[in-house]
């Protein structure tokens, strides 16, 4: 490559050598640009996936919270019924009729 540059400098003007240098610089810069463009696209894809996973995790957390809230309500009602039955403050037949009335046999 050095001999080629030497021959070019003897046979052609320095303007031609400058043009070749500029062309090589443009090629190198476009190559670097394409590499960085691919890296940015890869990072964007990763961020998009992470964002989707985060939103899915938040949604699952909300669903779990709603289930826990409903189960806690059922547990509290059963605890009250259990306490009333154990203290004999309420007749067991009354509870059975209420369950049958609501279809919760």
Q: Is the pTM of the predicted complex or chain greater than 0.85?
A: no
Query: pLDDT of 53-101, one tens digit each?
Result: 999 999 999 999 999 988 888 888 788 777 777 777 666 677 777 777 7
Query: pLDDT of 32-62, one tens digit each?
Result: 999 999 999 999 999 999 999 999 999 999 9
DSSP state of 87: T
- Distance in angstroms (rounded) separating the CA atoms of residues 22 and 6: 17
Residues 49, 55 contacting (CB under 8 angstroms): no
């Amino acid at each position: 490559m050095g001999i080629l540059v030497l021959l070019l400098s003897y046979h052609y003007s320095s303007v031609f050598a400058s043009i070749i240098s500029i062309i090589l610089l443009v090629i190198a810069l476009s190559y670097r640009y394409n590499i960085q463009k691919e890296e940015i696209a890869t990072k964007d894809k990763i961020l998009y996936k992470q964002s989707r996973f985060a939103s899915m995790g938040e949604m699952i957390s909300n669903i779990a919270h709603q289930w826990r809230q409903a189960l806690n309500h059922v547990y509290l009602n059963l605890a009250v019924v259990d306490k009333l039955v154990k203290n004999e403050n309420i007749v067991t037949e009354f509870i059975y009729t209420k369950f049958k009335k609501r279809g919760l046999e």
